[in-house]
Amino acid sequence: MLIVTAGVGQAVVGIIPEDTLLGWHLTGAGMYFLAAPLALILLGWLWLRRTRMSWMLLVFGLVSLGSTAYVLAVGLRVAEPGAMERAMAYPIILGLSLLGLTIAQRVHRERKLVKVRRLTLQQGAHD
C-alpha cells in the first residue's frame, strides 16, 4: 500500500504543477516523499536475511526519509531547494530500481529451478 500511495502522490505532483494548485502539489509530494522511503525501509528490513540488497534499500530509504524530515523541520525553507529535492527523490528512484532488479533476479532463478525440476521429473518418468 505504501508503494501505491507513493505512486499516486507522484502522479499528483506530475499532473498538478507547483505554480498552479500549490496545496494539491504539496499533498502529492508529501505522499511520495513519505510513503516511498517508508516502503524501502520496510522492505529492506523484511529482506535483511534474504538478500544483501536489503542494506541498500535501507540506506536509500533512510537517506530519503532523513532529507524529507530535514526539509519539513525547517518549514520547507532550504538554501538549495533543488539539491534537497534531489536528496529526497534520487534515493527513492535508485531504491525502487534496485527493488525491481532484485525481484527480477529472484523470478529468473525460480523459473530456472522449476525448469530443472520439470526436466528431472520427465527423465525419471521415461526411465
SS3 per residue for the chain:
CHHHHHHHHHHHHHHCCCCCCHHHHHHHHHHHHHHHHHHHHHHHHHCCCCCCCHHHHHHHHHHHHHHHHHHHHCCCCCCCHHHHHHHHHHHHHHHHHHHHHHHHHHHHHHHHHHHHHHHHHHHHHHC
Domain definitions of the chain by residue range: 2-126
Q: What pLDDT is stored for residue 17 in this prediction? A: 92
Q: What pLDDT is stored for residue 127 in this prediction? A: 63
Cut 0.75: pTM above it: yes
pLDDT (tens digit per residue) in 10-46: 999 999 998 999 999 999 999 999 999 999 999 999 9
- Asked if pLDDT for residue 96 goes beyond 70, the answer is yes
Mean pLDDT of 91-99: 96
Residue 43 identity (one-letter amino acid): L
Q: What pLDDT is stored for residue 80 in this prediction? A: 87
